[in-house]
Amino acid sequence: AQKVTQAQTEISVVEKEDVTLDCVYETRDTTYYLFWYKQPPSGELVFLIRRNSFDEQNEISGRYSWNFQKSTSSFNFTITASQVVDSAVYFCALSEAAYSGAGSYQLTFGKGTKLSVIP
């Protein structure tokens, strides 16, 4: 069965500091997808990034960057020069590409990391 572990429950940083959110996953499949979602206090889950298991290139988008390492089954997320607007709960999630039952490709989420950026 697939599993996602986000060991950091809460992190507090001072504005402009860099912060890394850890994500470790377990899956039996060789083909899978990894995601990060942001959940601000308003509650809506906002999609940030998707990576497939065959693409281990790191990705940078503005102040956000992602480090995918299959050898350690990790998909970590770094925010550079954090801002107060980054305060939210961040979820890592896994989807197995092979059919799960009726092909739902359901997401398995970690428990989330609550990030507080202090001005």
- Based on the shown chain and the rule CB under 8 A, indicate whether residue 24 belongs to the binding site for other proteins: no
Question: What's the rounded Cα separation, in Å, for the pair 29 and 18?
Answer: 33
Retrieve residue 64's tokens: 């956000």
Task: Provide φ and ψ at 108, rounded to 5°.
Answer: -105, 120
Shortest Å, Cβ 110 to other proteins = 5
Sites for other proteins among residues 49-88 (CB under 8 A): 50, 52
CB 11 within 8 A of CB 114: yes
Q: Identify which of residues 12 and 105 has a Cβ nearer to other proteins in the complex.
A: 105
Under the binding rule (CB under 8 A), the answer on residue 106 touching other proteins is: yes
Between 80 and 111, whose beta carbon lies closer to other proteins?
A: 111
How many Å apart are CA 117 and CA 79, to the nearest integer?
A: 11
Chain residues binding other proteins by CB under 8 A are 4, 31-33, 35, 37, 42-47, 50, 52, 91, 93, 95-98, 100-112
